[in-house]
Amino acid sequence: MRRAFLLCLFALSPSLYAQKVSTPPPTKPPLVSVDITKLPEGATHLDLWLLCGQSNMKGRGFMPEEPHNDPRIVMMHLKDDQWYLARHPLHLTGDAKTFQGHDNAGVGPGLAFAEVLAEQDKTAAIGIVPCAVGGSSIKLWQKGAKLYDDALRRAKLALQTTAPVKARLRGILWLQGEANANAQELPLHAERLRAMIEAFRTDLAQPDLPFIACTIGEMQPEPRLSDLKAMNDIQLALPRNVPHTACVDARDLKTHIGDNVHFDTAAQNEIGKRFADKFLQMTQ
């Protein structure tokens, strides 16, 4: 009876239903731990990437039936700081074996990004360091604020634990802006974004560290859409204002999980590929 009622509700109002349903937790085998002090077979180097931002970087797309376990793509778990073969959801908050404590994290752009880089360079291993937090304002990503400090700690820990294989931090991916797309926050956003980038580069002693942003989704109806477009104007202008930065344009991607905010799996995978293409353009 309850199942029939829910199916009827979904048929009548899919977007309302989607807003109330969390991304299903992983149910397949537990995460596979790796020895990060050794490179996988065929790899000669390990490149690390920070994933920062809010819920669309964290990902809410529905997950594939089978986990992706490429030995050349690894991730640092959000909760225990240990290394595992990378799989969705990269921003897993639950236990690595039982998944207990998992929230609504799903498919984001990070794994598709890493897959393109691994395909382009067969000698590369990719280490993903997830740091995104849903709903987070850029104010929490300023130097000295909670999310900035935690991302910096995780970046330094990742470099420390991968020191035996001489890993290098290759860049930061950034997908954020919905939380600050309003009349009060927009005038301050460009300066806050620049300050955050400069702080990361200073604290990590990499003055030219690549930073790649992505536009947020323009799926909301007016009047909300005008603020989202204004935010994206700031994001797209970033490469003109801050050196060694780029911005992925995802404004054409309109498919979402039913809430007009969170990109669906197909859109997230496309964003990941665009992140990778942008980085490859920057390094040519």
Which backbone phi and psi does 217 adopt, to 5 degrees?
A: -70, 140
* Of 146 and 21, the one with more pLDDT: 146
In a domain, 16, yes or no: no
Distance CA 158, CA 128 (A): 9
Q: What is the pLDDT of residue 44?
A: 97
- CATH of residue 229's domain is 3.40.50.1110
Q: H or E element: which one contains 22?
A: none
152-205 pLDDT, tens digit each: 999 999 999 999 999 999 999 999 999 999 999 999 999 999 999 999 999 999
pLDDT higher than 90, residue 13? no
* Cβ proximity of 138 and 179 under 8 Å: yes
Question: Which range is least confidently modeled, 28-32, 35-39, 58-62?
Answer: 28-32
In a domain, 136, yes or no: yes
Q: What is the pLDDT of residue 24?
A: 74
Distance CA 76, CA 94 (A): 13
Average pLDDT, the chain: 92
Q: Which amino acid is at 136?
A: S
* Cβ proximity of 267 and 258 under 8 Å: no
Q: Which domain holds residue 204?
A: 47-59+68-282
Q: What is the pLDDT of residue 28?
A: 80
pLDDT higher than 90, residue 48? yes
Q: What is the pLDDT of residue 22?
A: 65
pLDDT band per the 50, 70, 90 thresholds, residue 15 = very low
Q: What is the pLDDT of residue 265?
A: 97
pLDDT higher than 90, residue 23? no
pLDDT higher than 50, residue 16? no
Q: Which amino acid is at 51?
A: L
In a domain, 23, yes or no: no
In a domain, 25, yes or no: no
pLDDT higher than 60, residue 101? yes
Contacts of 208 (CB under 8 A, 6+ apart): 201, 243, 244
In a domain, 103, yes or no: yes
210-231 pLDDT, tens digit each: 999 999 999 998 888 999 999 9
In a domain, 98, yes or no: yes
Give all strands of the β-sheet with 83-85 in edge-to-edge order.
83-85, 73-76, 124-130, 45-53, 168-175, 211-214, 245-248
In a domain, 22, yes or no: no
Distance CA 146, CA 86 (A): 25
pLDDT higher than 80, residue 14? no
Taking residues 63-91, report their average pLDDT.
94
Q: Please give the model's pTM, rounded to 2 decimal places.
A: 0.92
Q: How many structural domains compose the chain?
A: 1
Taking residues 47-63, report their average pLDDT.
97
In a domain, 205, yes or no: yes
Contacts of 95 (CB under 8 A, 6+ apart): 79, 101
- For the chain, the helix, strand and coil percentages under 3-state DSSP, each to the nearest 5: 40, 15, 45
The token duo for 56 is 């669309």
pLDDT band per the 50, 70, 90 thresholds, residue 26 = confident
